[in-house]
Copies of this chain bind each other. A is one copy, B any other.
Amino acid sequence: MNGAQSLIRTLVDSGVEVCFANPGTSEMHFVAALDDVPEMRGVLALFEGVVTGAADGYARMAGKPAATLLHLGPGLANGGANLHNARKAHTPIVNVIGDHALPHKPLNAPLESDVETLAAWTEGWTRTTTDTARVGADAAEAVAAAAAGRIANLILPADVSWGEGGVVADPAPIAAPLLVEDPVLAAAADALRSGESTALLLGAAGCLERGLRAASRIAAATGAKVLAEVFPARIQRGAGLPAVERLGYLAEQAQWQLTGVKHLLLAGMAAPVSFFAYPGKASELTPEGCAVHTVATPADDVADALERLADLVAPGTEPVLAEPSRPALPTGELTLQNWVEVIGALLPEGAIISDEAQTSGLVLPAATAGAPRHDVLTLTGGSIGQGLPVAVGAAVACPDRPVVCLQADGSAMYTISALWTMARENLDVTTVILNNRAYAILRVELSRVGAESAGPVARSLLDIGTPDLDFVKLAEGMGVPASRATTAEELAEQFRRALAEPGPHLIDAVIPPLM
């Protein structure tokens, strides 16, 4: 058994069943070994940003890591932006990064680079395996390291992969999330009972059903305000679940939401900060004089902490659940308001929304609050180009659920070849491109950073409508059936049809920019 065979067998034994891959020569033995271990599904992507984003989306939904297969330093670099998003989402991922054979490393061949330095940027677990007999054990450790919500980087020199003497390792023990200690919860309960204005902020597992229900009980019993983090990795929503507003993206929104709060309880997230800094504006959003209580960090068992806290302050209180309700189907030219009403009116039961709609999606949460129960996966790290790949991964993880990718046009272009993987794997993803022909968010930001003097050159750098991107052709060029919608009626008809048919579809929805 060679190193590659021991690696794949160990990964499978450790519960890793999917490998998103963009291989090269140094990974050929890994590729060859896939036929020996049929339990491992290889999913090919044409660019590594799709590979890593798909692994992120997969793990957010599957609750366990996928592997990736990346080609030396440049392959890891290409995957870096979506690994950044995954890191911020606390997503477990096991990167298998091929490298030159050990004796080849010092020769400065064209593809030689310092892979370990690059891997260090992910702030995860990194190991270069230099002994074929250790490949299995290192792989098992990588899975366990990833399970703690980190990126695990296993760097695999080609000769270690092709060498004989591989040993399959047993799964390594996976640490359970830490239980929050009673005094922490007692202090939080005191704050909730203080009679002062209190906000409970939810992140990580706090945004899933158990956490949401517990938080709702706490709110019902104490009057505390409940808010979710700006960009949750995964939040469960819709009829039958407590409706929780998210903190606003703009600092002013979040500050307004937290006005007058005297106690901030953090369950699964850190104290809120603004996305960017702005001249003369605050970066830290905790109100002056507000006490901050960390109920649970993202590494803790957030749901358990919230349930125990609810049992302290809200025994016998039931959560308040959203009633089913949908917007009416709108009519007329597409607007920032009516396209989300179409989605809210037609969103199917059990949908998974990959939301990278950016400025076009500002009012999406309101329009879908009473839709059938669904999951929303958001842009955790702010590195654009996440929506399409995350949709790929979610669809691989949940083949029986409809995936809806709501994707801003500018952001789509970083990882557009995700559409090809959707076609290749016949994934049931309905992508709606919000095509406003601008980096609209940067128009907002240009004014917010105080760059009022911006002239025509600056403005032209935020305009991606010269020439127009035709997403119908782009999708068809990669094997995804596509259509264009300019009215709410067209969007509704096309969205309904796309949902009814299996496999991927794309709708190029032409909408006005926010500004």
Chain A residues packing against B (C-beta within 8 Å): 21, 23-26, 28-29, 31-36, 38, 42, 44, 46-47, 49, 73-75, 77-78, 80-81, 83-84, 88, 100-101, 103-104, 107-111, 113-114, 117-118, 120-121, 123, 158-159, 162, 230-231, 270, 273-277, 279, 283-284, 380-383, 385, 410, 413-414, 416-417, 420, 423-424, 441-442, 445-446, 448-451, 453-458, 460-462, 464, 466-474, 476-479
A444: min CB distance to chain B, Å = 9
Of B104, B113, B382, B446, which one neighbours A31 at CB under 8 angstroms? Answer: B446
B88 near A35 with CB under 8 A, answer no
A424 near B467 with CB under 8 A, answer yes
A206: min CB distance to chain B, Å = 17
A121 near B114 with CB under 8 A, answer yes
Q: A159-B277, A449-B158, A476-B470 are in contact. Are A410 and B46 (CB under 8 A)?
A: yes
B78 near A74 with CB under 8 A, answer no
Of B100, B118, B468, which one neighbours A118 at CB under 8 angstroms? Answer: B118
A230: min CB distance to chain B, Å = 8
Return the 5 tightest CB-CB contacts between A and B, nearest first.
Answer: A77-B80, A467-B479, A35-B455, A473-B477, A32-B451
Q: A451-B31, A469-B478 are in contact. Are A273 and B107 (CB under 8 A)?
A: yes
Q: A34-B457, A279-B159, A279-B162 are in contact. Are A121 and B113 (CB under 8 A)?
A: yes
- Give bound CA distance, A462 to B31, whole Å: 9
Of all chain B residues, the one with the shortest Cβ separation from A472 is B477
- Give bound CA distance, A420 to B464, whole Å: 9
Question: CB-CB < 8 A to A451: which residues of B?
Answer: 28-29, 31-32, 162
B25 near A158 with CB under 8 A, answer no
Question: CB-CB < 8 A to A270: which residues of B?
Answer: 108
A453 near B35 with CB under 8 A, answer yes
Of all chain B residues, the one with the shortest Cβ separation from A122 is B113
A32 near B77 with CB under 8 A, answer no
Question: CB-CB < 8 A to A23: which residues of B?
Answer: 442, 461
Question: CB-CB < 8 A to A36: which residues of B?
Answer: 453
B283 near A104 with CB under 8 A, answer yes
Q: List 30 contacting pairs A-B, 8 Å CB cutoff, sorted by A.
A: A23-B461, A24-B442, A25-B442, A26-B276, A34-B461, A35-B453, A44-B460, A44-B461, A46-B414, A74-B81, A74-B383, A77-B78, A77-B83, A77-B121, A84-B113, A100-B276, A100-B277, A104-B273, A107-B273, A107-B284, A109-B276, A109-B283, A111-B382, A121-B121, A158-B276, A420-B469, A467-B479, A469-B477, A470-B478, A473-B477
A248: min CB distance to chain B, Å = 14
A458 near B34 with CB under 8 A, answer yes
Question: CB-CB < 8 A to A417: which residues of B?
Answer: 413, 416
Question: CB-CB < 8 A to A35: which residues of B?
Answer: 453-458
A453 near B283 with CB under 8 A, answer no
Of B111, B416, B464, which one neighbours A275 at CB under 8 angstroms? Answer: B111
Of all chain B residues, the one with the shortest Cβ separation from A468 is B479
Question: CB-CB < 8 A to A453: which residues of B?
Answer: 32, 35-36
Of B276, B381, B383, B416, which one neighbours A104 at CB under 8 angstroms? Answer: B276
Report which residue of A74, A413, A470, A478 has the largest number of chain B beta carbons within 10 angstroms of its beta carbon: A74
Question: CB-CB < 8 A to A110: which residues of B?
Answer: 88, 230-231, 275, 380-382
Of all chain B residues, the one with the shortest Cβ separation from A84 is B74
- Give bound CA distance, A24 to B442, whole Å: 7
A31 near B461 with CB under 8 A, answer yes
B111 near A381 with CB under 8 A, answer yes
